[in-house]
Structure 1
Amino acid sequence: MSDLHRNATVVDLHNDLILLVDHFDRRGKPGHFAEFWLPQLRAGGVKVQVLPICLEDQFQSEGGLRRTLLLAERIHRLAEEHPADVQICLTGADVDAAVAAGRIAFVLALEGAHGLGQDPELIRTMGRVGVRVVSLAHLGRTFLADGSGLDDSSRGGLTPQGIEVLDEMERLGIVFDVSHLGVAGVDDVLARASRPLLATHSGCRAVADVHRNLSDQQVKAISDLGGVIGVAAAIPPFIDPARPTAARVVDHIEHLASVGSIDAVGLGPDFVDDYFDEVFGGWQTPGLGLTPDWEVAEIRRPADLPKLTDEMVSRGFSDEDVRKVLGGNAMRVLRTVMGVPGRPAE
């Protein structure tokens, strides 16, 4: 690991590790985080970890709220079990303090707000348990919005409840995440949002034309709003199914910078290979609209992240721009929005 990478504030905007922690918990192996993920995060130089709560299909209706709260509680217990290594953070100041103390800052997130059901007021409950980043849909439909997996059959935008949740998130200081929203939903958010937001784990359609990636128009709008797009470096079809290399990840970074701004680029690798391998014996893509016939990503685990720094340096990125991509830009959004009350409810 280079000194540049080691000394940067590396922010991973999306890692579903809590699903694998829960999987091993239920099989009598509660030490999985300490044995696997903590060394991986340290080896990758990760100092801020956004931890999304993603619900498997069987929990996305009646069991959504219960499953969401159970996984949120498990994240809190991780922090209690490893107080010298990790810390739950509610504000940008909390994140800065955790990083300064040598701890990994955990930021709770929802990937698809299934637990809210049709009750927008529950976003306030999520805020009370520490959630600070939220997307409204995953691959399919919720009461709030359509996910990008429905773009071929439906282009529904935000529902009235979804608009209410967006407005309340801006009021409370919860960061909005447009990754996984369908085309119309992204457009709705960008037309209404007044604060910087995130696309925690996405890519560029101009580089890899898949429904989960963003168009140049969307990239420009997110950049103009002061937002940040985390490149999904660990997901081959979002990067390049034939060549999911560190070099192709940096191709996405360069394109985002050219269309929007270098200030709009971050990292949201989405490290899910180990989860799919352990739970399903390989990639499973129900509703994703993709055929899992791609090559293995070069950026497969957190320990691989320094390869991106090396690739950016080899292409002539300045140290300042490398630090921005690794986490400086994401930190700006977290400091500006996370836990900072915004506009009053209309």
Structure 2
Amino acid sequence: MTQAFPIFDGHNDLLLHLHASGDRGGDSFVSGREGHLDLEKCRAGGFAGGFFAIYVPPEDHSGSARTAPVSTDRARKVTLEMAGILLRLTRAHPDAIRLCTTADQIETARKDGAIAALMHIEGAEGIGPELGELEVLHAAGLRSLGPVWSRPNIFGHGVPFAWPASPDIGPGLTEAGLRLVAECERLGILIDLSHLNEAGFWDVARLSSRPLVATHSCVHALSAQSRNLTDRQLSAIAESDGLVGLNFGCQFLREDGQRRDDTDLSVMVRHLAYLVERLGETGVALGSDFDGALMPRAIGTAAGLPALVEAMQQAGFGAPLIQRICWQNWIDLLRRSIG
């Protein structure tokens, strides 16, 4: 029988889908919805908390328009609306899901049987160059931010989706991006490196005094996706006492870069083992991308997380390491980064 482990997850796109469906209170998360995440699925799979992303979708999803820049005015509106969904959901159902801003609050939520939600921004288009919106969002509970998604904005350049390709695409952070990183450092907001191009990654590594973190990424040496991390990047994360959350998206895991849900869980375990070798047992966690990517069929939704635990056990991962990957490494990292 598979031993149960609580899961803290580095990334999901639930808020995007709640916003798109018009569910401004997030009630379908509690009552049940199609997709990867709802309360029943989370409880069935041991999903006890994670980063809940605010992401502004493109107006046009076709071709290159998908990764074209979006306007600050529209992005600000959507960002605040999604933040509002998370706030209303967690206030209306505190026994089911709670907004957390510290590691201690996350641990308390787990003990109380509530899902711990950490507010995260994936692509900071909703923040202007003067950064006033950042103060407001931090006051609302924001504790993690990726300066870019896979498109350019006023802060830097995201990595477009390409295989096989290098993440070394384009220039690094802009002057506004450098100010954004400095302000996040001051406020105690984690900087997520997952969608930054390589030049931007090294800018953050140079500027930041905190651990380097990629909330939902995979290994470039095993799958040559531009979104994945090179060995040199992994070494820098290890040197900073940082962390990588493994992305479950099939195209980021597979050696052939294909988006196929028949991806075997042994492929995920291979990435995890590689990350453990490079980062040590304290530097590896999970960053599913639930509701934002194609999952391996053997997992499917949050309810299927025990299948990954079983795959780790079958590969010889001991219980202490699995507990670290599933929960403790994120908690320890957050305690070092945001308190």
User: Scaled by the length of structure 2, what TM-score is found?
Assistant: 0.87
Which of 265, 272, 296 matches 1:253?
272
Contact residue 177 and residue 198 of structure 1 kept, 8 A: yes
Which of 137, 141, 149 matches 1:130?
141
Alpha-carbon distance, 1:81 to partner:
2.4
Cα distance change of structure 1 residues 67 and 309 upon mapping to structure 2, 3 Å threshold: same
In structure 2, the residue matched to 1:115 is: 126
In structure 1, the residue matched to 2:48 is: 47
SS for the counterpart of 1:149 is coil
State the percentage of identical aligned residues.
29
In structure 1, the residue matched to 2:286 is: 267
Q: Which amino acid aligns with 1:94?
A: Q
> Partners in 2 of 1:263 and 1:121 — Cα distance?
35
1:23-46 alpha-carbon deviations (Å, 9 max, x no partner)? 333599953543131111111201
Q: Which amino acid aligns with 2:178?
A: I
Cα distance change of structure 1 residues 153 and 326 upon mapping to structure 2, 3 Å threshold: closer
> Partners in 1 of 2:232 and 2:48 — Cα distance?
31
Q: Which amino acid aligns with 2:70?
A: Q
Moved more, 315-324 or 112-121: 112-121
SS for the counterpart of 2:51 is strand
SS for the counterpart of 1:57 is coil
Which of 147, 155, 168 matches 1:144?
155
Q: Which amino acid aligns with 2:8?
A: V
In structure 1, the residue matched to 2:62 is: none
SS for the counterpart of 1:20 is helix
In structure 2, the residue matched to 1:87 is: 98
In structure 2, the residue matched to 1:280 is: none
In structure 2, the residue matched to 1:305 is: 305
Alpha-carbon distance, 1:300 to partner:
2.8
Cα distance change of structure 1 residues 92 and 153 upon mapping to structure 2, 3 Å threshold: closer
SS for the counterpart of 1:107 is strand
> Partners in 2 of 1:14 and 1:206 — Cα distance?
22
Q: Which amino acid aligns with 2:238?
A: S
Contact residue 217 and residue 244 of structure 2 kept, 8 A: yes
Moved more, 113-122 or 304-313: 113-122
1:179-201 alpha-carbon deviations (Å, 9 max, x no partner)? 00011111111122211232111
1:236-278 alpha-carbon deviations (Å, 9 max, x no partner)? 11011366222111110001111221211110110236xx8xx
1:204-261 alpha-carbon deviations (Å, 9 max, x no partner)? 001110000000111111122111111111x111011366222111110001111221
Question: What is the 5 A alignment of 1:281-296?
Answer: none
Moved over 4 A (4+): 26-30, 150-154
Cα distance change of structure 1 residues 154 and 94 upon mapping to structure 2, 3 Å threshold: same
User: Scaled by the length of structure 1, what TM-score is found?
Assistant: 0.85
> Partners in 1 of 2:270 and 2:126 — Cα distance?
36
Alpha-carbon distance, 1:79 to partner:
0.9
Q: Which amino acid aligns with 2:267?
A: R
In structure 2, the residue matched to 1:323 is: 323
In structure 2, the residue matched to 1:60 is: 70
Alpha-carbon distance, 1:60 to partner:
2.9
Q: Which amino acid aligns with 1:120?
A: L
Contact residue 117 and residue 142 of structure 1 kept, 8 A: no
Contact residue 13 and residue 268 of structure 1 kept, 8 A: yes
- Are positions 1:159 and 2:174 aligned together? yes
- Are positions 1:38 and 2:39 aligned together? yes
> Partners in 2 of 1:31 and 1:68 — Cα distance?
20
Alpha-carbon distance, 1:318 to partner:
1.4
**Structure 2 unaligned runs (5+)?**
60-68
CA RMSD of aligned residues (A): 2.3
**Structure 1 unaligned runs (5+)?**
277-282, 284-294, 341-346
> Partners in 2 of 1:28 and 1:129 — Cα distance?
16
Contact residue 214 and residue 245 of structure 2 kept, 8 A: yes
Cα distance change of structure 1 residues 328 and 152 upon mapping to structure 2, 3 Å threshold: closer
In structure 2, the residue matched to 1:176 is: 191
Contact residue 60 and residue 115 of structure 1 kept, 8 A: no
SS for the counterpart of 1:49 is strand
Moved more, 23-32 or 317-326: 23-32
Alpha-carbon distance, 1:118 to partner:
2.2
Alpha-carbon distance, 1:311 to partner:
1.0
Contact residue 18 and residue 24 of structure 2 kept, 8 A: no
Contact residue 168 and residue 199 of structure 2 kept, 8 A: no
Contact residue 150 and residue 158 of structure 2 kept, 8 A: yes
